[in-house]
A and B are shown apart, each in its own frame.
Chain A
Amino acid sequence: MIRRLGLALGLAATPFAASAAGEVTEFVLENGMQVVVIEDHRSPAVTHMVWYRAGAADELAGQTGVAHFLEHLMFKATDDLASGEFSRIVEENGGSDNAFTSWDYTAYHQRVSADRLGLMMMMEADRMRGLILSDDEVATERQVILEERSQRTDTSPGALFNEQINAAVYLNHPYRRPVIGWRHEMEALSLQDARSWYETHYHPNNAILIVAGDATPEEVRALAEQYYGPIPANPDIVASESRIRETEPPHIANRRVIYEDARVANPYVSITYMAPERNTGDQEDAAALTLLAEILGGSSFTSVLPRELQLEDERSLFVGAYYSGINLDQSTFALINMPLPGTSLEQAEADLREEVAEFLVEGIDPVQFERIRFQIEAARIYEEDDAAALARSYGTALTSGLTVADVQAWPDVLAATTIEDVMAMAHTILDQDVTVTGYLMQPAPTTAPANPEISQ
């Protein structure tokens, strides 16, 4: 049931990141396209992914949502294929395909029989440079992304709240923008905006090919050189300069975000702290924070906050701690507390702050720490079962400034992290005076039902 609540909030528990499962091989094509092969020969299937180092945080001001909009438009016509033909061919070959966009990346993927890998590369290479956009299709697809925003965000008070929190947490960095875009800017996205995004970012030296499944590195190299190899690199893309973004100034003011919506069933409070992300060759702080989130909120029964507030004091319905180190730029550490009916959000906030203060004094139970370390070891085994998920782990890491070596070192970095390391980071992060505190709640009973400002 706890899991259900976690999902309802859109906050999946922090997973352990991928380790060196299967055989992983990496190489670079002459045009600069990076290639990663994750072998899993248990069944004759492959996942083929192309990731672009371009996401919502790379968008130009005034064009929020263009990265995701272009992702949709990539399924339209190219100079060789009619609109929709890409997915139709994948289907006729017994495969499935889709794509997704985040702040730091846009990725396209197909899952097919291993003997169709070349065909997938041929078509993906075709749309890397051959996209053709038409006014009619841009207009219709813009309506689709607006419907997507309605479905994912505007009908969900929790999603609207998260969007507002994010915009308050980041004062200047583009992580403050929603990936799907602000509605008023989405409505104004033009063919030219999409075209210009495509021309800037969709080049082999800005892309990563990941193949996971029943393929050898030799096979992948031969096919990749055949299909992606002929596409010229774009000299305008210089790795060290291409992703320089607005950065955060010192945070000197506490911020409180209060979002009232009549559709809120279970009010909750969140506290968000700024936190470092994983950096190449420098993952120790992020490892400590990953363990800290696990210790504070990873288990509904045995981690610190649920144990105190759900089980012992019986004041909370759900308590959680969230951290993800996989970001190109600065990350956050967040706590939430959903009180039982009858407890105010003010009290829930006080409970959370009190438990955190107590934890900083009392420290970590070594027995709990040992259990978590064993689970980290076990995760190395379990995650080998899902090559597609491993492919995704590598893709997010490599588009977030990490290397294959960083991904492979991560379980060892976690394993080397001590209780003292975790407590040191806990003090660094949780003792910050300046945070963003959010209340998601119903409007007071006397007021009219909330009408979210973002209509639709």
Chain B
Amino acid sequence: MIARTRFAPLLAALLAGIGFVAPAQAQVEIQSVTSAGGIEAWLVEDTSIPFVAIDLWFAGGASIDDPETRGAVYLMTALLEEGAGDRNATEFAETLEGLAASFSQDIYRDEVVISIQMLSQNRDEVVALIRDALVAPRFDADAVERVRGQVLSGIEADLVDPDAIAGATFNALAYGEHPYAFPVEGSLDSIAALTRDDLMAAHRAALVQDRVSVGVSGDMTPEELGPLLDALLGDLPVSSDRPMPGAVDVALDAGVTVVDFPTPQSSVIFGHTGIAREDPDFFPAFVLDQVLGGSGYRSRLMTQVREERGLTYGISTWLGLGRVAPMMQGAFSSSNTLVAEAVGVVQDQWAEMAAGGLTEAELEAVQRYLTGSYFLRFDGNAQIAGILAAMQSDSMPIDYINTRNDRVMAVTLEDVQRVAARLVDPEALHFVVVGQPEGLPASN
């Protein structure tokens, strides 16, 4: 189907004329601001719209849960908006809504992420309110029971969701007894057993000054930001009383795990160990992954599994950059009657990549894509605040944005070849299939 293109004269002329001129790039000027109290934030100042977005990334996340209290960080974070300081849950919400601010919480394996947006006109009131939520959450008994019920219902939904079952099964197989092996939400039993003391302890351990990364974008000067940081975060404990999770040996072999589940379409997650961001070979691996299965891209897997054969609606791979266990993973869904063929195509593509790496045309195309599209993500205060916090959380230098495209362009075919041989391993690729696949025997 890769017919040679017959360009119309006009189209051909324009495409040829591009030659290649790199697309226009956004300028993202980041200032580092350190408050009087010693809290650092990265700021992109943009006064064109009178509001500011702030992202707080607290490293640790669900992975600092004690084995006895799994899900405590999750339940604790969900309760931050359920009453704080001298306001109960309803009073807190009435105040927040009356200020037209937003305050949202997300809990991941490695981070608790707090996102705030507030108008310039009532900023101090919003900061004081959210300061209470971060520093002095109440964990009122009625709120705890209500949110506990919500979390339990979410866990019950996951237990009958093939995608969630696949993820949980893969993590359990890969990580043994390490915190990464367990769902961030905890289990029905662990959530049911959590006490208010457990929540207080999780709060003390998770929300601390020396694990927070702060990204700010919008209508805010460096002079205004310093006092804001101290007001918002200055009353949190400086350090945590729980260590970050230790290293883990990924315990996966090549093969297929089938979880029998009555559904017409199987959910599949596959993967093996990956590569750390700090690794000198990270950028070649990043480029390789984009061509193999990167999302939003006409990757080899999308072409082979979807476009050529119609075996799935979508398939993608990613480099999982877990703090202590990098992975190379992918996922797709495919009808029970087709999933065996799809798994075979993925295995073939894995082997082909391991043996051959990329072609010159593929490398050139993906470099254009990655470098040209990079700045498109800096679109709006909310997006930028999140990126700034994430960069610090990943220990990236403040000039990273300006050097990143050069690093992508510096990747050579030889680099990719070397990384393909080292990273992409068809002999280690493990599949978890949740459904009732036909003709796909479990290998263990």
Contact = CB atoms under 8 A, between A and B. Distances in A.
Interface stretch (A246-254, A259-267, A272-280, A352-360): A259-267
A414 B154 CA distance: 35
Which of A45, A81, A88, A340 counts the most B-chain CB atoms under 10 A from its CB?
A45
A446 interface: no
Contacts of B247: none
A456 B263 CA distance: 8
A449 B376 contact: no
A235 B8 CA distance: 26
Of A150, A375, A456, most B-chain CB atoms within 10 Å: A150
Size category, A interface: 35 or more
Interface stretch (B44-52, B192-200, B227-235): B44-52
A122 B11 contact: yes
Contact of A371 (B50, B94, B267, B380): B94
B94 A94 contact: no
Q: Could you tell me the dominant secondary structure of chain A's interface residues? A: helix
Contacts of A83: 1, 3
Nearest to B10: A122
A305 B434 CA distance: 38
A456 to B, nearest CB: 4
A306 to B, nearest CB: 10
A178 B145 CA distance: 39
Contact of A385 (B160, B267, B380): B380
B433 to A, nearest CB: 14
Contacts of A377: 100
A143 interface: yes
Contacts of A5: 150, 153-154
Contact of B307 (A114, A140, A151, A382): A140
A84 B298 contact: yes
Interface in A119-167: 119, 122-123, 126, 136-137, 139-148, 150-152, 154-155
A80 B371 CA distance: 27
B51 A144 contact: no
A378 B119 contact: yes
Contact of B50 (A123, A263, A381): A381
A262 B48 CA distance: 52
A95 interface: yes
B152 to A, nearest CB: 8
B400 interface: no
Interface stretch (A50-58, A310-318, A392-400): A310-318
Which residue, of B117, B309, B380, B381, has the highest number of chain A Cβ atoms within 10 A? Answer: B380
Interface stretch (B22-30, B174-182, B424-432): B22-30
A317 B365 contact: no
A399 B7 CA distance: 32
B97 A299 contact: yes
Contacts of B154: 1, 4-5, 8
Interface string A171-195: 0000000000000000000000000
Contact of A265 (B151, B153, B298): B153
B149 A299 contact: no
Contacts of B153: 5, 265-266, 317, 338, 341
Nearest to A112: B23
B154 to A, nearest CB: 6
B376 A94 contact: yes
Given A147-B311, A148-B313, A42 B46 contact: yes
Interface in B263-302: 263-265, 267, 296-298
A259 to B, nearest CB: 15
Given A4-B154, A89-B15, A79 B313 contact: no
B8 A80 contact: yes
B333 A94 contact: no
Kindly name the residue among B46, B49, B375 whose own CB sees the greatest number of chain A CB atoms within 10 A: B49
A408 to B, nearest CB: 18
Interface in B366-415: 368-376, 378-382
Given A301-B93, A371-B94, A378 B100 contact: yes
Given A299-B97, A317-B153, A77 B24 contact: no
A262 B162 CA distance: 13
A144 B306 contact: yes
**B8, B10, B48, B313 — which one has the most chain A CB atoms within 10 A of its CB?**
B313
A382 B154 CA distance: 30
Contacts of A382: 51, 117
Interface string B89-128: 1101110011010001000000000000101000000000
Contact of B372 (A94, A140, A152): A94
Given A95-B376, A113-B24, A265 B157 contact: yes
A224 interface: no
A2 interface: yes
A112 B78 CA distance: 37
A148 to B, nearest CB: 4
A1 B379 CA distance: 27
A91 interface: yes
Contact of B90 (A1, A148, A311, A338): A311
Nearest to A136: B1
A89 B6 CA distance: 14
Nearest to B102: A382
Interface in B16-62: 18, 21-26, 46, 48-51, 53
B441 interface: no
Contact of B94 (A84, A301, A385, A455): A301
A299 B93 contact: yes
A45 B379 contact: yes
Most B C-beta atoms less than 10 A away, residue of A341, A385, A449: A385
B425 to A, nearest CB: 27
A112 B373 CA distance: 7
B308 interface: yes
Given A80-B11, A94-B368, A1 B151 contact: yes
B149 A147 contact: no
A142 B262 contact: no
A122 B264 contact: no
A147 B25 contact: no
Interface string A383-421: 011111000000000000000000000000000000000
A5 B162 CA distance: 17
A155 B333 contact: yes
B380 A456 contact: no
Nearest to A83: B1
A116, A262, A449 — most chain B CB neighbours (10 Å): A116
Contact of A94 (B4, B8, B308, B371): B371
B251 interface: no
A22 to B, nearest CB: 10
B438 interface: no
Given A92-B369, A262-B262, A340 B24 contact: no
A317 B153 CA distance: 8
Contact of A114 (B4, B24, B156, B372): B24
Given A83-B3, A449-B262, 10 more contacts: A1-B150, A4-B154, A42-B46, A81-B11, A94-B22, A94-B374, A115-B21, A144-B310, A375-B100, A385-B381
26 contacts: A1-B151, A5-B150, A42-B48, A45-B26, A79-B8, A85-B5, A89-B15, A92-B369, A113-B23, A113-B375, A118-B14, A122-B14, A141-B310, A144-B310, A144-B312, A147-B265, A147-B312, A150-B335, A262-B160, A301-B89, A317-B149, A340-B149, A371-B97, A382-B117, A386-B380, A388-B379
List the 6 closest A-B pairs by CB distance, nearest first. Answer: A94-B372, A143-B310, A113-B23, A378-B100, A301-B93, A265-B157
